[in-house]
Amino acid sequence: MERQPAACPGVAPTLRPPVEPLREGDALPTSGRLLDRARSALLVIDLQESYRGKLHGEERLVAASQRMLQAAALLGVPVVVTEQYPKGLGATREEIAAHVPAAARRFEKTSFSALGAPGLREHLAELGRDQVVVVGIETHVCVSQTVHELLASGRAVHVVRDAIGARFALDDETGFAKLVGSGAVPSTSECALFEWLRDARAPEFKAIHRLVV
C-alpha cells in the first residue's frame, strides 16, 4: 500500500491537476523565463559610431547584435532602436543600421534610460509585448538604467550577454552582475534565437541555424 505524505496541522493539502502528455503537433509549454517570439520585442541601445574601437569585446558584441537583428527580422519580432545624443555621439553604427528592419522605430534620447526617450514608453505599450530582449551599450549605464526601469514596469527582461558591453571590462562585469541580481534573465544570442524558434520543424529553422554556425 502506497504511503501518503503526512499532513501538516492546519495546512490544507495542495492538489495538483494531472499533467496531460504532449501529442504530436502540440505547442511546447513555455516557462516564464523562456522567450516567446509572440511576446518579445528587441531593444537595441545606443550602438553608435562614437564608440567604434572603444568597447571591450567589441567584435563579439557587434556580431551578436547583428545576429539578434537578423533573427528578429526573420521571426517577426518588433525592433526598437535608441541613440544617445546623436548630434554629439553619432548615428547608429553602419554595420548595425544595415540590419535594422525598415519598420523599426528609432528614438533619440538624452536620458540614460531608454524609457526616458520621448515616445518610447508609449510605443512599447502599443506593441503589447511583455518580454523585452536587450542588446547594446553600456552595460553599467544606459543598459542598466533601462533594464531596471523595464523590470519596475512589470516586464520580463532578457539581457543578451554577448550583445551588451562597455568600454571597460570591470564596468561590464559589474553592471551585468547587477542586472541579473535585480531580476533580469541572462541569455546569449544563440540561446535567445533558439528560444524564439522553439522547434526544428519551424519554417525559419534553416535560416536561423545559418546565423549561428
Kindly name the residue from 8, 26, 36, 46 that is annotated as catalytic. 46
The cell for 15 is 492538489
Q: Rounded to whole angstroms, how far apart are CA atoms 81 and 119?
A: 12
CA distances from 95 to 41, 45, 114, 184 (A): 21, 15, 21, 27
Kindly name the residue from 8, 26, 54, 109 that is annotated as catalytic. 109
Q: Rounded to whole angstroms, how far apart are CA atoms 38 and 209?
A: 20
Kindly name the residue from 26, 54, 142, 206 that is annotated as catalytic. 142
> Is 162 annotated as catalytic?
no
Q: Rounded to whole angstroms, how far apart are CA atoms 111 and 117?
A: 7
> Is 46 annotated as catalytic?
yes
> Is 109 annotated as catalytic?
yes
The cell for 106 is 528609432
Burial class (CB in 10 A: 0-12, 13-18, 19+), 58: middle
E strand intervals along the chain: 40-45, 79-84, 105-109, 131-137, 156-165, 185-187
State the DSSP string of 68-116: HHHHHHHHT--EEEEEESHHHH-SB-HHHHTTS-TT-EEEEESSSSGGG
Q: Rounded to whole angstroms, how far apart are CA atoms 74 and 183?
A: 28
Catalytic residue annotation: 46, 109, 142
